[in-house]
Amino acid sequence: MPELPEVEVSRLGISPHIEGRTIKSVKVHDKRLRWPVPETVHQVEGHVLRSVSRRSKYLLLQTDNGCLILHLGMSGKLRVVPAETMHYKHDHIDIEFDNGQTLRLNDPRRFGALLYSGGDVSGHELLSQLGPEPLTDAFNIDYLFERSRGRSQSVKTFLMDNKVVVGVGNIYANEALFKAGINPKRSAGKISKARYQKLVPIIKETLASAIELGGTTLKDFTQVDGNPGYFAQKLQVYGRGGKLCMVCSNRLKEVRLGQRSTVYCTQCQR
């Protein structure tokens, strides 16, 4: 599943090509996505796309007549192509603009979504209960420490709770906890403020680094087979269960927490 850095780079990649353009049409080739695509998405037709923003993993395409809420699901990819570009299998949505360009959603597993909000999009049921963005000042040491008090769940599942903080998905939770030297199985409520003081900036740095790395792929969003997947990066623990730790050469352990693969070093993360 694309995580926050991949979604943010998608936003950066498509925005220059579609912001300020008039939406000519929304063509739904297959409405059977995570939720059926509603007829209301057509209400943005004929209106200027004012901005493309992101909230958690949702892309928000704002017009004067409402907002399209776009989610990539587990396998969704976006690209900007000329409207006459041949369709490929699993090309489900075309948002056509007055300059002849089309924002196209390809989603093989159909866990993505395209929805419409006619009012204040921040109050939409999918967005209203979300925690702060991890790269903003609202996500800070005091906040995370206070939210953790009394929580018996593992610190990894705590970080992946979108009501606590958005966008810290499985890959980046694994990596940040390793860098901070925190055992992912420890109860969130039993971790000291000093350790959260170390963890918070590491989470920010890990996500920011992935976004910066993804910046080299922005041109791919205008190619027929474009859109990057996970950015090539040196992952220290994720996907490396059973291999040797890059720091201490101890063999990495893999367990499941919250139905997700979790890899850590029993020596470096205590």
DSSP assignment of 165-189 equals: -SS--HHHHHHHHHHHT--TTSBGG
Report CA 97 to chain centroid distance, whole Å: 25
Give the model confidence (pLDDT) of 179-194 as tens digits: 999 999 999 999 999 9
Residue 32 — very low, low, confident or very high, per pLDDT cuts 50/70/90?
Answer: very high
70-74, 95-99, 142-146: which has the minimum mean pLDDT? Answer: 70-74
Considering only CA atoms, which of 170, 179, 151, 169 is closest in space to residue 236? 179
pTM value?
0.90
Helix (H, G, I), strand (E, B) or coil at 196: helix
Query: CA 158 to CA 168: how far, in whole Å?
Result: 10
Residue 224 — very low, low, confident or very high, per pLDDT cuts 50/70/90?
Answer: very low
- 144: which residues sit within 8 A by CB, 6+ positions away? 164, 165, 196, 199, 200
Residues labelled catalytic = 2-3, 57, 260
The reported pLDDT for the residue numbered 74 is: 87
CA 145 vs CA 67, 133, 142, 158, 252: distances in Å: 34, 16, 5, 11, 28
Mean pLDDT of 74-101: 94
Mean pLDDT of 246-251: 97
Mean pLDDT for the chain overall: 92
> Can you say whether the dihedral through the CA atoms of 50, 52, 56, 57 is positive or negative?
positive
36-40, 215-219, 234-238: which has the minimum mean pLDDT? Answer: 215-219
For residues 255 and 185, the answer to whether their CB atoms sit within 8 Å is yes
pLDDT at 96 over 90: yes
Mean pLDDT of 3-10: 89
8-state DSSP, 122: G
pLDDT at 147 over 50: yes
Report CA 104 to chain centroid distance, whole Å: 18
Query: CA 149 to CA 192: how far, in whole Å?
Result: 10
